């Protein structure tokens, strides 16, 4: 009985040590200057849109000597909104090169230069009388977002123990939601949503970027980056000890060293080399489908219809911005809920369940919007459907795609994998912004059936293909895909070619712990 009590106490102590102060600080500070800014810039342009258009109207005659026509104004506004996605695509393209030179932590730090420069350009655009500064600032902010959404999930994935890798990874999604909510809140007329104050909405970006810039240098670099790419075993050991909050990190070092054995003589692969690897084929397909569904699932359509549905429900126009805050609040709460339960339920149920519920509520919403004039209570049912769709998205599909991209690939493949995922993410984002107005114009309320079909297809694919990655090492996750890829892992090939008399490297790789003698032998 005493031994059982000691074991339970030891397990409880180990669980407590999973969430160290350094892990919490790295996740919070890292996300504040990265995914928070991405979410903030998604929503911040909505509140001052009419003031920005007025700024364009006032600036154009001073340059051209004539008033701006409606088509040119719409083009400038569309460019202001959509160029954020183009910048994101550029950021995704350069993040691998920057990360290879600077590492994970210093890539995040260097990225703050883009955020601060963009904030200054956008905040000063009205005083300078230059709408080009605002558009350029949005582009640079997109570059910041593209780098952040690749570097941050990679950093969090590599510093966290596998037992809480999902929960820590959800910090990215939680701070995106908090950023969206903050943009909605600061855009209220009583705060910064005024004609004289709207430039400060963009100047606020300097604050979280500066906090990350002065805080993150005190935290260690990714131990896996130090071990795999810099071959700094002592630095990696200290980083593991700091992040895990304990001196004995033999198990974590053993797993990392085993992964090195598995990938010895393998350098960082390019995107083209990764695409050609049969051993990564289904991982790439799954990441592409996950990221495409993440952007094409119809959440942008929900934002488009929110104000109209609230008006139909009888909510006064001047009160709608405050009611809209409830959507940002629901987003944040659902993302926090997902972070709390992801290590209990796993990735598969949350992702499949999220897309499945979105399919259901999109179907109901189509019916309620079609019949909204038939009864006074139907618009209120539409509001419930909107909030349910948002909650379903943020409880799984809103954050898990970034986690899976970090978990599916070995260290040498990960930068190229994030470039592929980011490219699909930003291209899908741009496609939605470009095509969505035409879809709405052609299908009206039936446009939600398109998104319901996308969500259903995504949920079906994940049900049949996606393995559960909860509490698994990177090598185990690769093994889960090996059968579908119809190719053995490097460790298995070596085992098959090895004479029977020699020790099994496969057994060494799968061993959960290695003593010091074995560790020294491997290194």
Nearest-angstrom CA–CA distance, 110 and 519: 35
Altogether, the residues listed in the chain come to a count of 523
Q: What is the pLDDT of residues 286-334, one digit of tens each?
A: 999 999 999 899 887 777 677 777 777 777 877 888 888 888 889 899 9
Place of tokens 């209570």: 377
Tell me which residue of 411, 388, 381 sits closest to 327, measured CA to CA.
388
Note the pLDDT of residue 310. 79
Nearest-angstrom CA–CA distance, 179 and 171: 12
In 297-336, the DSSP E strands lie at none
CA angle 449, 452, 453 (to 5 degrees): 90
Tell me which residue of 358, 361, 362 sits closest to 448, measured CA to CA.
362
Note the pLDDT of residue 404. 92
Note the pLDDT of residue 397. 92
Note the pLDDT of residue 181. 92
- 3-class state of residue 398 by DSSP: coil
Note the pLDDT of residue 493. 46
- 3-class state of residue 372 by DSSP: coil
Domains defined along the chain, listed by start: 19-219 (1.20.1250.20), 273-487 (1.20.1250.20)
Note the pLDDT of residue 264. 61
- Please give the C-alpha separations between residue 387 and each of 323, 327, 340, 368, in angstroms, as whole numbers: 11, 6, 20, 14
- The tokens describing 99, both together, are 């990360």
CA angle 337, 397, 424 (to 5 degrees): 145
Question: What predicted TM-score, i.e. pTM, was given to this entire model?
Answer: 0.83
Nearest-angstrom CA–CA distance, 139 and 518: 51
Nearest-angstrom CA–CA distance, 4 and 10: 10
Which parts of the chain sit beneath pLDDT 50? 1-2, 6, 8-10, 12-17, 490-523
**254 near 511, Cβ under 8 Å?**
yes
Nearest-angstrom CA–CA distance, 214 and 74: 40
User: Cα torsion at 124, 125, 130, 134 (round to 10°)?
Assistant: 140
- The tokens describing 202, both together, are 């963009």
Place of tokens 């992040």: 243
**Cβ atoms within 10 Å of 273's Cβ, excluding its own:** 14
- Indicate the DSSP class of residue 270: P
Note the pLDDT of residue 263. 63
Nearest-angstrom CA–CA distance, 475 and 407: 10
Place of tokens 């190229």: 416
DSSP code string of 11-69: HHHHHHHHS-HHHHHHHHHHHHTTHHHHHHHHHTTTTTHHHHHHHHHHHHHHHHSSPPP
């Amino acid at each position: 009985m005493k031994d059982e009590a000691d074991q339970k106490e030891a397990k409880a102590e180990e669980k407590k040590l999973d969430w160290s102060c350094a892990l919490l600080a790295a996740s919070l500070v890292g996300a504040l200057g990265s995914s928070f800014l991405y979410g903030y810039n998604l929503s911040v342009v909505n509140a001052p849109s009419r003031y920005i258009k007025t700024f364009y109207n006032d600036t154009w005659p001073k340059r051209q000597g004539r008033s701006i026509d409606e088509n040119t104004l719409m083009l400038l506004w569309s460019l202001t909104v959509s160029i954020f996605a183009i910048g994101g695509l550029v950021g995704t393209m350069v993040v691998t090169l920057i990360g290879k030179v600077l590492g994970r932590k210093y890539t995040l730090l260097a990225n703050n230069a883009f955020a601060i420069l963009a904030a200054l350009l956008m905040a000063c655009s009205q005083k300078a009388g230059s709408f080009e500064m605002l558009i350029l600032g949005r582009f640079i902010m997109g570059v910041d977002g593209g780098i952040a959404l690749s570097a941050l999930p990679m950093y969090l994935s590599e510093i966290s123990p596998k037992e809480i890798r999902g929960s820590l990874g959800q910090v990215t999604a939680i701070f995106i939601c908090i950023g969206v909510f903050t943009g909605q809140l600061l855009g209220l007329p009583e705060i910064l949503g005024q004609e004289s104050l709207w430039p400060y909405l963009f100047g606020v970006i300097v604050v979280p970027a500066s906090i990350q810039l002065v805080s993150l240098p005190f935290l260690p670099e990714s131990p896996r980056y130090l071990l795999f790419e810099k071959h700094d075993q002592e630095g990696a050991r200290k980083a593991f000890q700091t992040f895990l909050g304990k001196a004995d990190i033999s198990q974590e070092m053993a797993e990392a060293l085993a992964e090195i054995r598995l990938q010895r003589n393998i350098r960082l692969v390019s995107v083209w080399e990764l695409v050609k690897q049969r051993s990564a084929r289904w991982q790439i397909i799954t990441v592409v489908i996950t990221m495409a569904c993440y952007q094409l699932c119809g959440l942008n359509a929900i934002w488009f219809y929110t104000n109209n549905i609230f008006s139909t429900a009888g909510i006064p126009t001047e009160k709608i911005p405050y009611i809209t805050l409830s959507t940002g609040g629901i987003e944040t709460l659902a993302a926090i809920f997902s972070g709390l339960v992801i290590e209990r339920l796993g990735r598969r149920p949350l992702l499949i369940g999220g897309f499945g519920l979105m399919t259901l509520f999109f179907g109901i919403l189509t019916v309620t919007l079609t019949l909204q004039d038939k009864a006074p209570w139907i618009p209120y049912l539409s509001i419930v459907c909107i909030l349910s769709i948002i909650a379903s998205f943020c409880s799984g599909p809103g954050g898990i795609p970034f986690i899976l991209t970090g978990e599916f690939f070995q260290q040498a493949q990960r930068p190229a994998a994030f470039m592929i995922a980011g490219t699909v993410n930003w291209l899908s984002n741009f496609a939605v912004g470009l095509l969505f107005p035409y879809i709405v114009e052609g299908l009206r309320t039936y446009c939600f059936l398109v998104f319901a079909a996308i969500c259903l297809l995504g949920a079906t694919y994940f049900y049949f293909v996606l393995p559960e990655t909860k509490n698994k090492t990177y090598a185990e996750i690769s093994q889960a895909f090996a059968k579908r890829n119809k190719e053995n892992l490097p460790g298995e090939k070596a085992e098959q070619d090895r004479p029977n008399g020699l020790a099994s490297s496969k057994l060494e790789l799968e061993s959960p712990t290695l003593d010091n003698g074995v560790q020294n032998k491997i290194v």
